[in-house]
Structure 1
Amino acid sequence: MATVMEFSSPVEEFPLGTVFENLPEVTVELERLIPHETFIIPYFWVRGAEADDIEAAFEPHAGLVSITLVDGVDDEYLMRAEWKSEYFGLLSALANTNVVVLSGVGTKDGWRFEVRGESREAIGEFRTVCQEHDIRIEITAVHELLPVQDDDYELTEGQREALVLAYERGYFDSPRATSLAELAEELGVTQQSLSERLKRGHRRLIAGALLPR
């Protein structure tokens, strides 16, 4: 059964932690990350900054190629990081064990992650990889993922499958991490069919979760 694990890690264990040396009051929040053998270039938010050049606030790190500012609104900055392929760290351990990052937040006090594996064995493999490469993590919680009560929202299996996959692949993120065409190919359906599934699924979720019964 799918298993969720929460863990913390020291600031210096993750390449983006170098920002806290220059901007100790900021918060860094990762966009949802989907594991892949080569790993995607992730997006992340820096909040609470007052620096004119937010890119320069990140010190050089062995795991980073570059940090690029994508957009900024008030004191929130959307950034993009490109990683060195030869560097093995926390992200590499997640990618190699096919574990999905549900959330990742960093402050000057450390990093907090919530990840999901398809089974307890996947989570165990991730822990083993961390141990083998001296990647420091402290596990704070492990629990099985409870099934969604689809009957409450009257979702069909196809609608639920489409919504979950779109969410996991970052289709609802900004900017999007995948396209409708890629999702449709993965599900083996047409783009039109997938689009209709998503629309009907959204309608039923809104009706079941937000409107009075």
Structure 2
Amino acid sequence: MTSIVNLEISSEGTGLAELFESVPSLACEAEAGVVSDGYDLWLSGASKDEIESGLADASTIEDRTLVNGSEEQWLYNVTFAPDAIDLFEVVLEEGGTILDASASGRSWNLNIRVQERSDASSIHTRLEELDLEPTVIRLYDTSDETGSQSGLTQNQYETLVAAINYGYFEIPRDVSMQELSEELGVSHQALSERLRRAYRSLVTSELDVSPEETEPALSSTLSD
């Protein structure tokens, strides 16, 4: 029975620990469907100069490349040093698939799909052995989940609820994306990207496919 486990994990000791130490206000969200070397991470909560400086000074980060960005957040492809704890690799090794990963306030929040509940236990045990202080927020079978909870972070869930309440999904729309972004106090770009990642989390969870499995179809669509 496929299950989803929502874990909160300390960022201390992970590959981004030094970056969070130097930039305490940093927020991070992993890009779904990573197909390149390293990990694609959206970084925000500080100026670009502060983030660049923190990345450059972090000994746990071997390489980084700026991929994309706006005035408030930037997408970096990050490669961790060999001796750093690679949180994503740990989950993969224990049989989990990360549907969504975000970090702020020096803690990670992960939604992980596992084929058996014993895999969730193995992931938790491994993280404990690495002193990452894992806390299970929620563990549920995919057959029991509701559409509004499928692999979403709290921010994504609250954004979708707000979009529904303000009539963004009505036909015709009662509110534009610009108006919704102003109501939520985020930039138009940040809202667009948050909604896109929320849609992707819902689809990959509901259809029971990994983010990687959706890549060919996505690439084909974008090239049309």
User: TM-score, structure 1 length as denominator?
Assistant: 0.62
Q: 2:89 aligns with which of 88, 92, 97?
A: 92
Matched residue of 1:128: which SS? helix
Change (3 A) 1:53 1:148: closer
How far, CA to CA, are the matches of 1:118 and 1:54 in structure 2?
A: 37
1:144 aligns with 2:141: yes
Q: Which amino acid aligns with 2:43?
A: V
8 Å CA contact 1:7–1:140 kept in 2: the answer is yes
Q: What's 1:42 paired with?
A: 39
- CA deviations on 1:2-53 (whole Å, 9 max, x unpaired) are 111111122313222333333322311111267x9xx952101012322336
Residues 72-81 or 16-25, more deviating: 16-25
Aligned position for 2:216: 179
How far 1:75 sits from its partner (Å)? 1.1
Contact 1:90 1:135 in 2 (8 A): no
Q: Residue 58 of structure 2 aligns with which residue?
A: 60
CA distance in 1, matches of 2:48, 2:92: 32
RMSD after superposition: 3.6
Aligned length: 164
Q: 2:124 aligns to what SS in structure 1?
A: helix
Superposition pairs of residues 165-176 of structure 1, within 5 angstroms: 168-169=211-212, 171=214
Aligned pair in 2 of structure 1 residues 166, 90: CA closer, same or farther (>3 Å)?
closer
Residue in 2 that maps onto 1:134: 131
Unaligned runs of 5+ in 1: 150-159, 172-177, 184-190, 196-213
TM-score by length of 2: 0.59
Match of 2:115 in 1: 118
Q: Name the SS of the counterpart of 1:20 in structure 2.
A: helix
Aligned-pair identity in percent equals 17
Structure number with greater Rg is 1
